[in-house]
């Protein structure tokens, strides 16, 4: 059963008789998908067909062929899995809000179920469609274990304020997601909906994408691979996570973020599988990142309009950055120099190269990388814009609330506190090259990526 609190009504229209449409967007999977499950429950109750639709925008927040490739190849599996369950999958191209509106006009559904997503562009799609639709539109939060709107109605100061709220509600929400059943009510032929094949290669060649950032082969897309990766992490690397995760030379982190970002893996599934390993510091540490930190990012983006600019900075951080705005910089680089890994810092360049070539930068270095961009940019505004541009362009898990929150934490003190004052940073937490040298084999890491 779905907890009613996971469902948010985006308009007041009633559910009418007609097929139920699930607009798949952030949760690109068939299993462990609360939105799809809820849509099927309504369809079963009403004895009507269930349709799943995905709207592909030709451009999305600077995504490249690396991101579109990962997503479309994952969706190929979704299409097959839905077909096996007798659930119709429609794949639409064009501006998403307009595409879905045309689709609604055509199939005359009784209800539309959307995913929850706090990013501005997605809010414009979902809220925009709901405002103009004559049918019921609901949103189901399948990304947060404790639904974001229920965990807290306001912007939280930090992990320390959100954590107790999540902990209190977790026992009610950390439950297995019911399976999707084969659907018994099929679409009548008069609806004339094509069963369109999804061919990732052909779509990739048609889209006008930036192909300079190529697909990567070390991580394969799709639900099956994602679940295998989760099992591998739990069996071999969860033990030791606390100690190993901050060493960029070790595979100490789970590596699950690309699948989590594209919704090919359910955070709820990860949390349940990890929690089933029993108590212990590694389990606790992983759940802290996966639940508290990740859900704090959604809380931040939902409740702060300016999540990707200096407007997100808390008061103390804004004042301190302002005070140090004119401080002289020893080094200064343009966006292009940053992008080409042409700074005077070999560690920074290596981290940038790792991200460029693999689509992933180690989590510990992401903090160092973003803070150095602040130190070497003309202004904090420029630093945020550079960090977001590069992270979103190269990281497979980019364009995610975690990325906007991580960059805001590094550069403008979001979810952090004031530290000792120093040039340029003011009271924003600082990270140094020497600090990294003490923590891990810095020369070894640089050798690995400078090759």
Q: Which two tokens stand for residue 150?
A: 């229920």
Q: How far is the CB of 245 from ligand FAD (least distance, A)?
A: 5
Closest separation in Å from C-beta 237 to ligand FAD: 9
Residue number with CB closer to ligand FAD (107 or 295): 295
- Judge contact between 430 and 236, C-beta under 8 A: no
Q: Which two tokens stand for residue 267?
A: 């955070």
Q: Residue 240 Cβ, how far from ligand FAD at the closest point, in Å?
A: 12
- For the CB of residue 397, give the shortest distance to ligand FAD in the complex, in Å: 4
Nearer to ligand FAD, 289 or 339 (CB): 289
Least distance CB 261 / ligand FAD (angstroms): 5
- Report the alpha-carbon angle 425-426-427, nearest 5: 105
Quick one: 48 or 361, whose CB is closer to ligand FAD?
361
Where does this chain bind ligand FAD (CB under 6 A)? 245, 253-257, 260-261, 289-290, 293-294, 297, 363, 366-367, 370, 391, 395, 397-398, 400, 402-403, 406-407, 410
**92: which strand partners?**
55
Q: How near is the Cβ of 260 to ligand FAD at its closest, in Å?
A: 5
Distance of alpha carbon 276 from alpha carbon 266, whole angstroms: 16
Give the separation between CA 303 and CA 164, rounded to whole angstroms: 19
CA distance 214 to 393: 11
Q: Which is nearer to ligand FAD, 188 or 379 (CB)?
A: 379
C-alpha distances (whole Å) from 256 to each of 27, 253, 413, 445 are 15, 8, 26, 21
In the numeric block, the tokens 């949390």 are attached to 271
State in angstroms the smallest separation of the CB of 231 from ligand FAD.
14
**Cβ 143 to ligand FAD shortest distance, Å:** 10
In the bound state with ligand FAD, the residue whose beta carbon lies nearer, of 135 and 145, is 145
Residue 335 CA, distance from chain mean position: 24
For the four alpha carbons of 418, 326, 423 and 410, in that order, the dihedral sign comes to: positive
> With respect to ligand FAD, which residue has the nearer C-beta, 19 or 398?
398
CB of 85 to ligand FAD, least distance (A): 28
Nearer to ligand FAD (CB atom), residue 79 or residue 226: 226
- Toward ligand FAD, which CB reaches closer, 367 or 418? 367
Q: Which is nearer to ligand FAD, 156 or 400 (CB)?
A: 400
Sheet containing 7-9: give its strands across.
7-9, 136-140, 111-115, 20-24, 50-56, 88-93
CB of 402 to ligand FAD, least distance (A): 3
Nearer to ligand FAD, 53 or 260 (CB): 260
State the minimum distance, in angstroms, from the CB of residue 112 to ligand FAD: 28
Nearer to ligand FAD, 10 or 260 (CB): 260
């Amino acid at each position: 059963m779905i907890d009613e609190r996971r469902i948010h009504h985006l308009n007041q229209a009633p559910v009418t008789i007609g097929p139920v449409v699930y607009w798949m967007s952030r949760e690109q999977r068939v299993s462990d998908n609360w939105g799809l499950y809820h849509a099927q429950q309504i369809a079963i109750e009403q004895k009507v067909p269930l349709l799943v639709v995905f709207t592909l925008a030709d451009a999305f927040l600077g995504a490249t062929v690396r991101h579109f490739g990962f997503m479309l190849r994952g969706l190929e599996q979704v299409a097959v899995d839905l077909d096996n369950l007798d659930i119709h999958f429609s794949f639409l191209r064009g501006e998403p809000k307009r595409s879905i509106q045309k689709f609604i006009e055509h199939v005359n559904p009784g209800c539309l179920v959307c995913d929850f997503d706090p990013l501005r562009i997605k809010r414009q799609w979902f809220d925009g469609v709901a405002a103009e639709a004559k049918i019921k539109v609901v949103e189901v939060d399948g990304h947060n274990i404790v639904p974001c709107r229920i965990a807290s109605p306001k912007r939280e100061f930090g992990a320390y304020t959100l954590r107790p709220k999540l902990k209190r509600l977790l026992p009610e929400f950390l439950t297995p997601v019911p399976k999707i059943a084969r659907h018994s009510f099929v679409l009548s032929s008069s609806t004339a909906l094509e069963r369109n094949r999804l061919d990732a290669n052909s779509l990739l060649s048609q889209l006008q994408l930036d192909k300079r950032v190529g697909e990567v082969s070390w991580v394969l897309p799709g639900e099956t691979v994602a679940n295998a990766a989760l099992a591998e992490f739990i069996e071999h690397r969860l033990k030791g996570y606390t100690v190993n995760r901050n060493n960029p030379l070790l595979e100490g982190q789970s590596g699950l973020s690309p699948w989590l970002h594209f919704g090919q893996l359910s955070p709820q599934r990860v949390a349940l599988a990890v929690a089933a390993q029993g108590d212990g510091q590694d389990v606790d540490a992983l759940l802290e990142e996966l639940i508290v930190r990740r859900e704090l990012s959604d809380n931040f983006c939902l409740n702060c309009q300016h999540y990707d600019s200096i407007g997100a900075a808390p008061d103390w951080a804004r004042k301190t950055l302002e005070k140090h705005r004119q401080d002289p910089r020893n080094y200064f680089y343009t966006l292009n120099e940053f992008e080409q890994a042409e700074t005077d810092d070999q560690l920074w360049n290596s981290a940038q190269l790792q991200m460029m070539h693999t689509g992933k930068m180690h989590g510990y270095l992401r903090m160092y990388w973003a803070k150095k961009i602040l130190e070497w940019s003309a202004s904090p505004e420029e630093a945020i814009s550079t960090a977001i541009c590069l992270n979103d362009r190269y990281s497979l898990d980019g364009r995610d609330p975690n990325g906007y929150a991580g960059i805001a934490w590094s550069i403008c003190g979001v979810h952090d506190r004031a530290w000792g004052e120093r040039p340029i940073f003011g009271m924003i937490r600082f990270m140094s090259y020497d600090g990294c040298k003490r923590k891990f084999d810095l020369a070894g890491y640089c050798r690995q990526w400078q090759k």
